[in-house]
């Protein structure tokens, strides 16, 4: 068992995020299971993943000494050039273009070749990070699902990570846009305002009223182009809930192409057979910074863009050819 007192810097975080940072090399599946088994306690009481920590709280994590050693032991960092596209970089911030299939963090299978590790290798290569002497580890301010491609922002310094994390949380000085291909002919722009609730037992998200545990969730979308039975839309997340875009679009009868969790299963099979697409068509393509200051001031007024990847453009071409027949 490990006992940690929450300090001022860690206060305000969800219990899941706190534990994930502390056991930085633990698979997410292990952490989720620990919460389900009530192996995480705060001030002597079991809490769920969403519990907000306060300064002075005592967090107890019931793990063996060997697990503690393994899960706090970082993967060895090696000096390597960055294998993916860098969309933006300055002395404090690194924004990279994550391909589909690459994990931001490790998962329940213990995968360690992640986007985060590639970033550390790259910064070590540039001599901007040294695992032997660093008191801070460059980290992402947000995350994307394994099968969602696009922009991920990293704080290279502690100050930048704090400010970026706040930006993504509050969303008043940052707009995050996605490109998504939805099933059906969407005839006009719209807004979806439907509270969401996550079932931690099965990992699925459902629409549920706030008075029954749902959390506010708002999604805006604009029609970019129609392709017969499909519509390419630009989506803006006003809030940032898990699987928000996927659940919201499915709720209005226009699920994402290839989404086998929330989508139209017959359509998924047809699209997969025709194009090979085996996951949701979703790409984080734009970060729009507004009146940011401090270490983020070089980003003030900038829009960082990631074009739609070649594999997704190919999917559109193949579906367009099908619709034209």
Is 187 among the catalytic positions?
no
- Pick the catalytic residue from 39, 70, 90, 145: 145
Closest CA relative to residue 231, chosen from 188, 177, 278: 188
DSSP code, position 101: T
Q: What residues contact 261, with CB distance under 8 A and at least 6 apart?
A: 204, 243, 246, 280
Candidates 112, 142, 95, 146; CA nearest to 24 is 112
For residue 190, the surrounding DSSP H or E stretch is strand 190-193
271-272-275-278 Cα dihedral, nearest 10 degrees: 120
Question: Which positions are annotated as active-site residues?
Answer: 145
């Amino acid at each position: 068992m490990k006992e940690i007192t929450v300090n001022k810097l860690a206060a305000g975080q969800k219990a899941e995020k706190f534990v994930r940072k502390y056991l930085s090399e633990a698979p997410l599946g292990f952490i989720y299971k620990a919460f389900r088994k009530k192996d995480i306690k705060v001030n002597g009481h079991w809490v769920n993943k969403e519990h907000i920590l306060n300064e002075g709280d005592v967090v107890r994590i019931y793990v063996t000494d060997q697990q503690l050693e393994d899960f706090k032991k970082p993967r060895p960092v090696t000096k390597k050039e960055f294998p993916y596209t860098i969309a933006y970089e300055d002395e404090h911030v690194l924004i990279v273009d994550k391909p589909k299939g690459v994990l931001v963090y490790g998962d329940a299978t213990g995968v360690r070749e992640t986007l985060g590790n590639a970033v550390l290798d790259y910064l070590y290569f540039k001599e901007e990070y040294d695992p032997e002497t660093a008191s801070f580890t460059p980290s992402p301010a947000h995350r994307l699902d394994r099968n969602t491609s696009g922009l991920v922002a990293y704080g290279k310094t502690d100050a930048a990570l704090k400010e970026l994390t706040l930006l993504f949380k509050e969303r008043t000085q940052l707009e995050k846009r996605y490109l998504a291909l939805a099933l059906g002919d969407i005839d006009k722009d719209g807004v979806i305002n439907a509270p969401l609730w996550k079932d931690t037992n099965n990992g699925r998200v459902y629409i549920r009223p706030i008075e029954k545990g749902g959390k506010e969730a708002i999604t805006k979308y604009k029609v970019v182009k129609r392709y017969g039975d499909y519509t390419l839309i630009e989506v803006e997340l006003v809030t940032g809930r898990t699987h928000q875009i996927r659940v919201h679009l499915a709720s209005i009868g226009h699920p994402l192409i290839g989404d086998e969790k929330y989508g139209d299963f017959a359509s998924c099979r047809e699209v997969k057979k025709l194009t090979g697409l085996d996951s949701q068509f979703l790409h984080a393509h734009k970060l729009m910074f507004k009146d940011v200051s401090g270490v983020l001031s070089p980003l003030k007024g900038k829009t960082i863009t990631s074009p739609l990847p070649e594999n997704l453009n190919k999917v559109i071409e193949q579906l367009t050819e099908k619709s034209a027949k």
